[in-house]
Chain A
Amino acid sequence: MHIRWLAVAGAMALATTPALAACSTAPAHPAGGTPSDGAGTPGEPAAAPGERLVPDASPSWSLLGPSGSAISDADLARIDQGLSDATNALIGADQDAIHDESGDSAP
Protein backbone atom coordinates (compact mmCIF):
# COMPACT_ATOMS: atom_id res chain seq x y z
CA MET A 1 0.00 0.00 0.00
CA HIS A 2 2.75 2.40 0.97
CA ILE A 3 4.71 1.43 -2.07
CA ARG A 4 1.73 2.24 -4.29
CA TRP A 5 1.35 5.74 -2.75
CA LEU A 6 5.06 6.35 -3.11
CA ALA A 7 4.87 5.40 -6.78
CA VAL A 8 1.96 7.79 -7.39
CA ALA A 9 3.76 10.63 -5.58
CA GLY A 10 6.91 9.94 -7.55
CA ALA A 11 5.05 10.02 -10.84
CA MET A 12 3.41 13.32 -9.94
CA ALA A 13 6.74 14.79 -8.99
CA LEU A 14 8.26 13.74 -12.30
CA ALA A 15 5.31 15.15 -14.21
CA THR A 16 5.48 18.56 -12.55
CA THR A 17 9.25 18.99 -12.51
CA PRO A 18 9.60 20.20 -16.13
CA ALA A 19 6.82 22.72 -15.61
CA LEU A 20 8.43 24.04 -12.44
CA ALA A 21 11.77 24.21 -14.15
CA ALA A 22 10.22 26.16 -17.00
CA CYS A 23 8.65 28.59 -14.55
CA SER A 24 11.89 29.21 -12.74
CA THR A 25 13.84 29.95 -15.90
CA ALA A 26 11.19 31.88 -17.82
CA PRO A 27 11.74 35.64 -17.73
CA ALA A 28 9.12 37.71 -15.94
CA HIS A 29 8.62 39.61 -19.17
CA PRO A 30 9.28 37.66 -22.34
CA ALA A 31 11.29 40.19 -24.28
CA GLY A 32 12.27 42.81 -21.79
CA GLY A 33 13.31 43.83 -18.34
CA THR A 34 11.08 44.39 -15.41
CA PRO A 35 9.22 47.66 -15.04
CA SER A 36 11.01 48.43 -11.81
CA ASP A 37 14.52 48.29 -13.16
CA GLY A 38 14.04 50.99 -15.74
CA ALA A 39 15.09 48.58 -18.41
CA GLY A 40 11.79 48.52 -20.21
CA THR A 41 8.27 47.34 -19.87
CA PRO A 42 6.91 44.04 -21.09
CA GLY A 43 7.63 43.48 -24.72
CA GLU A 44 10.38 46.06 -24.95
CA PRO A 45 14.04 45.22 -25.31
CA ALA A 46 16.06 45.34 -22.14
CA ALA A 47 19.81 45.49 -22.24
CA ALA A 48 21.23 45.73 -25.72
CA PRO A 49 24.16 43.50 -26.63
CA GLY A 50 27.23 44.81 -24.87
CA GLU A 51 25.25 46.45 -22.09
CA ARG A 52 25.18 45.11 -18.58
CA LEU A 53 22.93 45.31 -15.59
CA VAL A 54 24.85 46.47 -12.55
CA PRO A 55 23.74 46.91 -8.95
CA ASP A 56 22.98 50.49 -8.13
CA ALA A 57 21.45 52.42 -5.29
CA SER A 58 18.95 53.87 -7.67
CA PRO A 59 17.10 51.04 -9.41
CA SER A 60 15.98 53.24 -12.28
CA TRP A 61 19.61 53.90 -13.13
CA SER A 62 20.73 50.32 -13.05
CA LEU A 63 21.05 49.99 -16.80
CA LEU A 64 24.41 51.35 -17.80
CA GLY A 65 25.79 50.95 -21.26
CA PRO A 66 29.44 50.21 -21.85
CA SER A 67 29.99 53.87 -22.62
CA GLY A 68 28.15 55.07 -19.54
CA SER A 69 24.80 56.04 -21.03
CA ALA A 70 22.43 56.86 -18.25
CA ILE A 71 18.99 56.38 -19.73
CA SER A 72 17.58 53.20 -21.15
CA ASP A 73 16.91 53.03 -24.84
CA ALA A 74 13.34 52.02 -24.02
CA ASP A 75 12.80 55.35 -22.26
CA LEU A 76 14.06 57.27 -25.25
CA ALA A 77 12.20 55.06 -27.70
CA ARG A 78 8.92 55.89 -25.98
CA ILE A 79 9.66 59.59 -26.19
CA ASP A 80 10.71 59.35 -29.83
CA GLN A 81 7.57 57.41 -30.67
CA GLY A 82 5.44 60.01 -28.92
CA LEU A 83 7.13 62.85 -30.79
CA SER A 84 6.67 61.02 -34.06
CA ASP A 85 2.98 60.40 -33.35
CA ALA A 86 2.43 64.02 -32.35
CA THR A 87 4.20 65.23 -35.48
CA ASN A 88 2.05 63.02 -37.66
CA ALA A 89 -1.09 64.22 -35.91
CA LEU A 90 -0.22 67.83 -36.63
CA ILE A 91 0.63 66.98 -40.24
CA GLY A 92 -2.82 65.44 -40.43
CA ALA A 93 -4.32 68.63 -39.01
CA ASP A 94 -2.45 70.65 -41.63
CA GLN A 95 -3.80 68.48 -44.41
CA ASP A 96 -7.30 68.91 -43.00
CA ALA A 97 -6.93 72.68 -42.97
CA ILE A 98 -5.98 72.96 -46.64
CA HIS A 99 -8.84 70.77 -47.78
CA ASP A 100 -11.20 72.69 -50.04
CA GLU A 101 -14.76 71.52 -49.59
CA SER A 102 -16.31 74.25 -51.71
CA GLY A 103 -16.05 72.16 -54.88
CA ASP A 104 -17.82 69.26 -53.23
CA SER A 105 -20.84 71.34 -52.36
CA ALA A 106 -21.30 72.48 -55.96
CA PRO A 107 -20.91 69.42 -58.16
Chain B
Amino acid sequence: MTSIFRRCVAAGAVAAVAAFASAGVALAATTSGPAGRTTPSETWQHVHDRVAKALSDRQTTLAQLTASTGSNQDLTATDRQVLQSLLGPETQGINQLAATVAAATPQNTTIAQLRQDAVTMVDQYRVYLVMAPKVHLSEAADTQTDVEVRLSGLEPRLQDAIARAGHPSDAVQAYGDLLTQVSNATSTTGKADVPAVLQVSPPGYPADGAPLASARTSLQAAQNDLKSARSDIRIIRNAIQQGKASSQAGATG
Protein backbone atom coordinates (compact mmCIF):
# COMPACT_ATOMS: atom_id res chain seq x y z
CA MET B 1 0.00 0.00 0.00
CA THR B 2 2.79 2.34 0.95
CA SER B 3 4.55 1.42 -2.23
CA ILE B 4 1.52 2.18 -4.33
CA PHE B 5 1.10 5.51 -2.58
CA ARG B 6 4.72 6.40 -3.21
CA ARG B 7 4.39 5.54 -6.89
CA CYS B 8 1.34 7.73 -7.20
CA VAL B 9 3.13 10.65 -5.56
CA ALA B 10 6.12 10.19 -7.83
CA ALA B 11 3.95 10.03 -10.94
CA GLY B 12 2.12 13.16 -9.88
CA ALA B 13 5.38 14.99 -9.36
CA VAL B 14 6.64 14.00 -12.79
CA ALA B 15 3.40 15.16 -14.38
CA ALA B 16 3.58 18.47 -12.57
CA VAL B 17 7.15 19.08 -13.65
CA ALA B 18 6.26 18.17 -17.23
CA ALA B 19 3.30 20.51 -17.21
CA PHE B 20 5.38 23.35 -15.81
CA ALA B 21 8.14 22.70 -18.33
CA SER B 22 5.75 22.76 -21.27
CA ALA B 23 4.27 25.99 -20.02
CA GLY B 24 7.75 27.43 -19.84
CA VAL B 25 8.49 26.40 -23.42
CA ALA B 26 5.27 28.01 -24.55
CA LEU B 27 6.21 31.26 -22.87
CA ALA B 28 9.70 31.18 -24.29
CA ALA B 29 8.24 30.77 -27.77
CA THR B 30 6.65 34.18 -27.48
CA THR B 31 8.57 37.29 -26.56
CA SER B 32 10.71 37.34 -23.45
CA GLY B 33 11.10 40.50 -21.46
CA PRO B 34 14.30 41.99 -20.05
CA ALA B 35 14.18 39.75 -17.02
CA GLY B 36 13.54 36.66 -19.12
CA ARG B 37 9.85 36.65 -18.35
CA THR B 38 7.12 37.34 -20.85
CA THR B 39 3.98 39.22 -20.15
CA PRO B 40 0.93 39.54 -22.36
CA SER B 41 1.52 43.28 -22.72
CA GLU B 42 5.04 42.67 -24.02
CA THR B 43 3.72 40.30 -26.67
CA TRP B 44 1.07 42.84 -27.60
CA GLN B 45 3.74 45.54 -27.85
CA HIS B 46 5.88 43.36 -30.08
CA VAL B 47 3.04 42.76 -32.52
CA HIS B 48 2.01 46.41 -32.39
CA ASP B 49 5.53 47.65 -33.13
CA ARG B 50 5.93 45.33 -36.08
CA VAL B 51 2.67 46.44 -37.66
CA ALA B 52 3.46 50.10 -37.00
CA LYS B 53 6.91 49.73 -38.56
CA ALA B 54 5.52 47.96 -41.62
CA LEU B 55 2.99 50.76 -42.08
CA SER B 56 5.63 53.43 -41.62
CA ASP B 57 7.82 51.81 -44.27
CA ARG B 58 4.91 51.79 -46.67
CA GLN B 59 4.19 55.44 -45.98
CA THR B 60 7.81 56.22 -46.89
CA THR B 61 7.60 54.19 -50.09
CA LEU B 62 4.32 55.82 -51.12
CA ALA B 63 5.79 59.28 -50.53
CA GLN B 64 8.74 58.40 -52.75
CA LEU B 65 6.47 57.03 -55.46
CA THR B 66 4.26 60.12 -55.31
CA ALA B 67 7.27 62.42 -55.57
CA SER B 68 8.68 60.44 -58.48
CA THR B 69 5.37 60.47 -60.31
CA GLY B 70 5.16 64.22 -59.91
CA SER B 71 8.69 64.98 -61.04
CA ASN B 72 9.27 62.46 -63.82
CA GLN B 73 9.24 64.45 -67.05
CA ASP B 74 8.92 61.44 -69.32
CA LEU B 75 5.61 60.22 -67.94
CA THR B 76 2.72 60.91 -70.28
CA ALA B 77 0.01 63.16 -68.92
CA THR B 78 -2.43 60.24 -68.92
CA ASP B 79 -0.13 57.87 -67.04
CA ARG B 80 0.77 60.56 -64.52
CA GLN B 81 -2.90 61.32 -63.92
CA VAL B 82 -3.83 57.66 -63.48
CA LEU B 83 -0.91 57.00 -61.14
CA GLN B 84 -1.72 60.02 -59.03
CA SER B 85 -5.36 58.97 -58.85
CA LEU B 86 -4.19 55.58 -57.54
CA LEU B 87 -1.50 56.83 -55.19
CA GLY B 88 -3.78 59.35 -53.48
CA PRO B 89 -6.37 56.92 -52.07
CA GLU B 90 -3.66 54.32 -51.41
CA THR B 91 -1.70 56.79 -49.31
CA GLN B 92 -4.86 57.90 -47.57
CA GLY B 93 -5.77 54.32 -46.71
CA ILE B 94 -2.34 53.43 -45.37
CA ASN B 95 -2.25 56.67 -43.38
CA GLN B 96 -5.62 55.87 -41.87
CA LEU B 97 -4.48 52.38 -40.95
CA ALA B 98 -1.28 53.79 -39.45
CA ALA B 99 -3.31 56.23 -37.35
CA THR B 100 -5.53 53.41 -36.12
CA VAL B 101 -2.54 51.31 -35.11
CA ALA B 102 -0.81 54.28 -33.53
CA ALA B 103 -3.86 54.88 -31.36
CA ALA B 104 -4.15 51.23 -30.34
CA THR B 105 -3.52 50.21 -26.75
CA PRO B 106 -3.67 46.82 -25.03
CA GLN B 107 -6.90 48.03 -23.46
CA ASN B 108 -8.77 48.89 -26.66
CA THR B 109 -7.19 46.58 -29.25
CA THR B 110 -6.48 42.88 -29.18
CA ILE B 111 -3.54 41.16 -30.82
CA ALA B 112 -5.96 39.54 -33.22
CA GLN B 113 -7.16 42.98 -34.29
CA LEU B 114 -3.57 44.12 -34.85
CA ARG B 115 -2.92 41.05 -36.95
CA GLN B 116 -6.03 41.83 -38.97
CA ASP B 117 -4.73 45.35 -39.57
CA ALA B 118 -1.51 43.81 -40.91
CA VAL B 119 -3.45 41.52 -43.24
CA THR B 120 -5.48 44.49 -44.49
CA MET B 121 -2.29 46.48 -45.04
CA VAL B 122 -0.87 43.77 -47.27
CA ASP B 123 -3.91 42.38 -49.06
CA GLN B 124 -5.87 45.58 -49.60
CA TYR B 125 -3.00 47.88 -50.54
CA ARG B 126 -0.05 45.81 -51.86
CA VAL B 127 2.29 48.79 -51.80
CA TYR B 128 5.37 46.80 -52.75
CA LEU B 129 4.01 44.17 -55.08
CA VAL B 130 1.45 46.19 -57.02
CA MET B 131 1.62 49.94 -56.45
CA ALA B 132 5.39 50.35 -56.72
CA PRO B 133 5.70 48.19 -59.87
CA LYS B 134 2.91 50.17 -61.47
CA VAL B 135 4.90 53.36 -61.02
CA HIS B 136 8.26 51.89 -61.98
CA LEU B 137 7.02 50.07 -65.06
CA SER B 138 5.03 53.09 -66.29
CA GLU B 139 8.07 55.29 -65.85
CA ALA B 140 10.30 52.81 -67.66
CA ALA B 141 7.85 52.45 -70.57
CA ASP B 142 7.33 56.18 -71.04
CA THR B 143 11.02 56.98 -70.68
CA GLN B 144 12.01 54.33 -73.19
CA THR B 145 9.40 55.62 -75.61
CA ASP B 146 10.96 59.05 -75.33
CA VAL B 147 14.42 57.62 -75.98
CA GLU B 148 13.13 55.74 -79.02
CA VAL B 149 11.68 58.94 -80.47
CA ARG B 150 14.95 60.73 -79.91
CA LEU B 151 16.97 57.96 -81.51
CA SER B 152 14.64 57.85 -84.50
CA GLY B 153 15.10 61.60 -84.84
CA LEU B 154 18.85 61.13 -85.08
CA GLU B 155 18.70 58.54 -87.84
CA PRO B 156 18.55 60.92 -90.83
CA ARG B 157 21.27 63.04 -89.29
CA LEU B 158 23.49 60.01 -88.85
CA GLN B 159 22.81 58.89 -92.39
CA ASP B 160 23.78 62.29 -93.67
CA ALA B 161 26.94 62.34 -91.60
CA ILE B 162 27.95 58.89 -92.83
CA ALA B 163 27.41 59.98 -96.43
CA ARG B 164 29.47 63.10 -95.93
CA ALA B 165 32.25 61.02 -94.37
CA GLY B 166 32.41 58.82 -97.45
CA HIS B 167 30.45 55.85 -96.08
CA PRO B 168 33.03 54.29 -93.73
CA SER B 169 32.21 50.58 -93.62
CA ASP B 170 32.08 50.38 -89.82
CA ALA B 171 29.70 53.30 -89.73
CA VAL B 172 27.48 51.86 -92.44
CA GLN B 173 27.29 48.53 -90.66
CA ALA B 174 26.58 50.13 -87.30
CA TYR B 175 23.92 52.33 -88.86
CA GLY B 176 22.15 49.28 -90.28
CA ASP B 177 22.20 47.69 -86.85
CA LEU B 178 20.98 50.92 -85.27
CA LEU B 179 17.91 50.95 -87.50
CA THR B 180 17.12 47.37 -86.52
CA GLN B 181 17.66 47.95 -82.81
CA VAL B 182 15.53 51.09 -82.67
CA SER B 183 12.77 49.42 -84.66
CA ASN B 184 12.83 46.35 -82.40
CA ALA B 185 12.92 48.46 -79.26
CA THR B 186 9.97 50.55 -80.40
CA SER B 187 7.97 47.46 -81.20
CA THR B 188 8.87 45.68 -77.95
CA THR B 189 8.25 48.68 -75.72
CA GLY B 190 4.84 48.91 -77.37
CA LYS B 191 4.11 45.40 -76.16
CA ALA B 192 4.43 46.56 -72.57
CA ASP B 193 0.74 47.11 -71.93
CA VAL B 194 0.85 50.06 -69.54
CA PRO B 195 -2.95 50.48 -69.34
CA ALA B 196 -3.18 46.82 -68.28
CA VAL B 197 -0.39 47.38 -65.75
CA LEU B 198 -2.28 50.31 -64.29
CA GLN B 199 -5.41 48.20 -63.95
CA VAL B 200 -3.80 45.54 -61.74
CA SER B 201 -5.58 45.90 -58.42
CA PRO B 202 -4.10 45.16 -54.99
CA PRO B 203 -7.05 43.01 -53.85
CA GLY B 204 -6.95 41.09 -57.12
CA TYR B 205 -3.24 40.32 -56.86
CA PRO B 206 -1.66 37.87 -57.62
CA ALA B 207 -4.46 36.50 -59.79
CA ASP B 208 -4.48 39.59 -62.01
CA GLY B 209 -0.74 40.31 -61.78
CA ALA B 210 0.28 38.89 -65.17
CA PRO B 211 0.56 42.29 -66.92
CA LEU B 212 3.26 43.30 -64.45
CA ALA B 213 5.53 40.38 -65.32
CA SER B 214 4.78 40.67 -69.02
CA ALA B 215 5.57 44.38 -69.13
CA ARG B 216 8.74 43.82 -67.16
CA THR B 217 9.98 41.27 -69.70
CA SER B 218 9.14 43.45 -72.71
CA LEU B 219 10.71 46.56 -71.26
CA GLN B 220 13.93 44.77 -70.38
CA ALA B 221 14.24 43.37 -73.91
CA ALA B 222 13.56 46.79 -75.43
CA GLN B 223 16.03 48.40 -73.09
CA ASN B 224 18.75 46.01 -74.25
CA ASP B 225 17.99 47.00 -77.85
CA LEU B 226 18.23 50.67 -76.96
CA LYS B 227 21.59 50.18 -75.32
CA SER B 228 22.81 48.42 -78.44
CA ALA B 229 21.54 51.32 -80.53
CA ARG B 230 23.43 53.72 -78.29
CA SER B 231 26.59 51.66 -78.83
CA ASP B 232 26.00 51.85 -82.57
CA ILE B 233 26.03 55.64 -82.41
CA ARG B 234 29.36 55.46 -80.62
CA ILE B 235 30.75 53.22 -83.37
CA ILE B 236 29.41 55.52 -86.10
CA ARG B 237 30.87 58.55 -84.46
CA ASN B 238 34.26 56.92 -84.03
CA ALA B 239 34.28 55.66 -87.62
CA ILE B 240 33.50 59.14 -88.92
CA GLN B 241 36.16 60.70 -86.72
CA GLN B 242 38.76 58.15 -87.79
CA GLY B 243 37.88 58.64 -91.45
CA LYS B 244 38.24 62.37 -91.10
CA ALA B 245 41.54 62.02 -89.23
CA SER B 246 43.01 59.68 -91.84
CA SER B 247 41.88 61.91 -94.72
CA GLN B 248 43.48 64.90 -93.01
CA ALA B 249 46.70 62.93 -92.50
CA GLY B 250 46.63 61.96 -96.18
CA ALA B 251 46.17 65.55 -97.25
CA THR B 252 49.03 66.80 -95.12
CA GLY B 253 51.34 63.87 -95.85
Contact = CB atoms under 8 A, between A and B. Distances in A.
Interface residues of B, number: 52
B115 interface: yes
By secondary structure, the A interface counts as helix
B119 interface: yes
Nearest to A85: B143
A76 interface: yes
Contact of A96 (B115, B123, B128, B160): B128
Interface string A93-105: 1101101011011
Given A68-B240, A86-B223, A107-B47, A93 B122 contact: no
Given A82-B147, A92-B132, A93-B137, A105 B118 contact: yes
Interface in A75-98: 75-76, 78-80, 82-83, 85-87, 89-90, 92-94, 96-97
Nearest to B209: A97
A86 B140 CA distance: 5
Interface of A: 58, 60-61, 67-71, 75-76, 78-80, 82-83, 85-87, 89-90, 92-94, 96-97, 99, 101-102, 104-107
B244 A68 contact: yes
Closest 7 CB pairs of A and B: A70-B161, A107-B50, A89-B140, A68-B244, A82-B147, A99-B128, A93-B136
B154 A71 contact: yes
8 contacts: A60-B157, A70-B158, A79-B147, A79-B230, A83-B226, A83-B230, A85-B139, A89-B137
Question: Which of A75, A80, A89 gathers the greatest number of chain B CB atoms within 10 Å?
Answer: A89
Contacts of A92: 132, 135-136
Contacts of B226: 83, 86
B245 A67 contact: yes
A75 B128 CA distance: 35
A83 B223 contact: yes
Given A58-B160, A79-B230, A69 B74 contact: no
B59 interface: no
